Amino acid sequence: MAKHIMIQGTASDVGKSLMAAAIGRIYTNEGLRVFPFKSQNMALNSYITKTGAEMARAQVVQANACRREPDVLMNPILMKPSQDAQSQIIIKGQVYGDLNARDYHELKPQLKPMLKEVMTQLDSENDLIVLEGAGSPAEINLNDHDIVNMGMAEIADSSVILVADIDRGGVFASIYGTIALLKDQGKRIKGIIINKFRGDVSLLDPGIEQIEALTGVKVIGVVPYLPHVIESEDSCDLHMEQTSYDASKALDVCVIAVEWIANFTDLNSLSLFEDVSLRYAKQAKQVGQPDLIIIPGTANPLRALKDLEDRDLARAIQAAVGKGSHLIALGAGQTLLGQTLKDEAGNSHPGLDIFPYQSTLTGAHDVYQTQCQTTYPPHGAGEEEGYALAAYEVRTYTIQSQDHLSPFARVVKRNGTSYSGDEGYCLEEGRLIASNLHGLFDNTAWTYAYLQALAKKKGVKLKGQLPQNYAAVMEEQFQELAQHVLDHIDKEALDRIIEGEG
């Protein structure tokens, strides 16, 4: 029978996901079989497992922290927003349907038995389950049907650690208010961790003494702020404030901030390359003439296309590409760049006309874990072989062309089964690439070769060497994160809470 511990937070973005990852790695290092779990996650960053099931990327990160293969039971319910008040609901990795907020709220009581069954199964297969909540548990307007915070803690019969972010201010008010609003449910909170602290921790002592007296809950840690490259869950964490080119870097890479951006974690691994100045364009004047433009995926291509036109970004992209900028479009971002984009009703909308193809939104949801061989840049003794890639696809569209366009890659395996077919498009000797592959840049050898080819065309040399592969960098980061948290919490108190003695 597995032990349970749940990480909840006073608000969104207080560090719940990374705290859960850190605690998972701490106990994994002690030899326990640890399973990360978040019953319901709302995110546009997803991942496809080996079985072709879709789950939140944040739980994949936690799986890596726990040295476990990503499993869809780590995130049984995934909500992918597609409109302002509507989300695609994915249950156990498969699409359930598109629901508005009220309809989903009414569905939640029907999901509780499924969550109980999942917990029963996980209890028999693991030593410790590290659960994560969502947002704040004190959303009192939603608590009657809650299945992700205290509602999930009750299903799992788990004690709770409450994480609060001191960096944003008001930490003691947020702690006290959260526990006060929870009333009897707040009794599950057995410890508090103050996160993202900067400065002299002794200055917090009077506040800690008072909050412990007011709430009856011990503060078991004050964790200093730690810069890291571990993937962040929320799009608000995407550092889009960097809008200008750092001229000390060899290559200027501009990411277009498309509306309803999806799988923005595709860009994280580019931070490993010291020659890349990665910046974001929200306005036309910010695009300029970069060496490379990246169009990321989007959960709502029609809205994204209209938004590019409304903000004059479409014209700026066309102008930059027309003057020689390279371009890579990923996932549904490709659909914006063809001659037309046809919606599910059959209505046709003009695209940016950079690629000679036509895109259609199908309403389907085809997902694959994919292995393939690239066609560009050349590789091997005869420079005829490409690079081996491992990535994943989430297709809600089809792309067709009357012209014979060169593929970007040739697929050799999908969802673990041999497969033969073309992937994406590669035009003008690699200047224009459209690809279905999410996680493309995580393939460090290919990315480095591509950047070298880009630098050669620009007439510059890269100073940096081939970095460690992304997985190796993440492994080091997990170890550093775990040690950092371990150094700043009362581990014995955490042990007692997990054992039910707190």
Q: Is 359 in contact with 397 (CB distance < 8 Å)?
A: yes
Which residue, 44, 45, 54, is CA-closest to 367? 54
Q: Report the candidate in 480, 446, 467 with the shortest Cα–Cα distance to residue 372.
A: 446
Round to whole Å and give the CA distance between 161 and 131.
10
What six digits make up the tokens of 231? 């993937």
Would you give the end-to-end CA distance of the chain in angstroms?
19
**381 contact partners, CB below 8 Å, separation of at least 6:** none
Alpha carbon distance 267, 260 (integer Å): 16
- Contact, 341 vs 301, CB < 8 A? yes
Residue 251 to residue 462: CA distance in whole angstroms = 9
Q: What is the DSSP string of 167-219?
A: TTS-HHHHHHHHHHHHGGGGGGEEEEEEEEE-S-GGGGHHHHHHHHHHH---E
Strand-pair category, 77-83 with 86-91:
antiparallel
**Residues facing residue 361 across a β-bridge:** 397
Q: 438 catalytic, yes or no?
A: yes
Q: Which of 244, 273, 228, 192 is nearest to 481 (CA)?
A: 228
Tell me the C-alpha to C-alpha distance, in Å, between residue 152 and each of 77, 130, 228. Answer: 12, 12, 29
The secondary structure element, H or E, covering residue 450 is helix 444-458
Of residues 4, 326, 379, 438, which has the active-site annotation?
438
CA-only gyration radius of the chain, Å: 24
How far apart are alpha carbons 323 and 287 in whole angstroms?
A: 13
What are the Cα distances from residue 263, in Å, to 181, 298, 391, 498? 35, 8, 12, 34
Cβ(160)–Cβ(36) below 8 Å: no
> Do the beta carbons of residue 264 and residue 294 sit within 8 Å?
no
Please name the residue that has the structure tokens 């560009």: 376
Distance CA 168, CA 428 (A): 48
Alpha-carbon gap, residue 388 to 322, rounded angstroms: 31
Catalytic center residues = 438
